[in-house]
Amino acid sequence: MRKRRHGWPLAAFISLTCVGALAAPTGATAATSGLPARPAAAALADQQDLRMAADQIQAQALASEVLRAPVASTRPAVVLFQSVDAILRAARSSSASQPNDTRALMGPVPYNLAHPLVRRPWHRFIRATHTLRPFRTPVYVGGSAGIGMHTTFRHSLPAPFQRPDGVYVDPNLPLPSTPTIASVAVRTALKKLGHPYVWAAAGPATFDCSGLVRYAYGHAGLRLAHYTGTQWNEGRLIRGRQALPGDLVLVGRTLHHVGIYLGAGWMLNAPFTGHYVDVVPVPPHVAGLIRP
């Protein structure tokens, strides 16, 4: 739960044609070959979750008509990102920087977001949010290897590095059509799918939960702390019916975990030692949603 770094060019393209349900590209498990059994099983589960999340988030984008037709790609990270990008583009064109109700875009509020913990940790009230503002430039926030790849944490060693395949590990993603802080942050974090969790790491190769958030938002131009408890106070506490991709999901009464919300009940996170940066269902015991 701790620190991060930089940026990229501009120009985007979205091609929309009718395609069926997401299929795993040929050689989808190539990145897991040669991994020990446990990390390989975790990586395969991550692939399945990514395909499911992409399918469901695209379905919501089609239902809310921010996408007119399915994304013309079988690569799940591309489908997911272009669906998220379309939702954020619609939110920016139809709302102020702090929308009061996004359910027309995001669908029904998942139970865990609609019923956060009753006794919330202290939160400083902040009126201004930034995520729907246009992306300008990244900020340098530093990186960290944390405790390293060869140190045991809570009785586990970090999972070994996977071979990048451009699909499930370091996916190749298009640029946002209209770059906002949220779309750049989501894209930056998605491009780190398949990287090992290491406690106290903040990129560019390994991450813990708040380190991934710091890394992603640093690329997007916001400087956040490398600590979940502080990230709680670096944005505005919002309600589930206001949720948008890019919001921070803080978990537990002690704020022990954070992820980046994507939509349809899914979030992107660096989970725990022995696993990889992945897309997972929002866990129970959500403390609240924070919009930086």
The DSSP code for 62 is H
Q: What is the CATH number of domain 30-291?
A: 3.90.1720.10
Which CA distances in Å does 214 have to 5, 64, 116, 181, 184?
8, 30, 23, 13, 13
Q: What is the pLDDT along the chain (292 residues), one digit of tens a residue?
A: 433 333 333 333 222 223 334 554 544 566 777 899 999 999 999 999 999 999 999 999 999 999 999 999 999 999 999 999 999 999 998 766 678 899 999 999 999 999 998 777 778 778 789 999 999 999 999 999 999 999 999 999 999 999 999 999 999 999 998 999 999 999 999 999 999 999 999 999 999 999 999 999 999 999 999 999 999 999 999 999 999 999 999 999 999 999 999 999 999 999 999 999 999 999 999 999 999 9
pTM of the full predicted structure? 0.90
Q: How far apart are alpha carbons 263 and 58 in whole angstroms?
A: 9
Domain limits of the chain?
A: 30-291
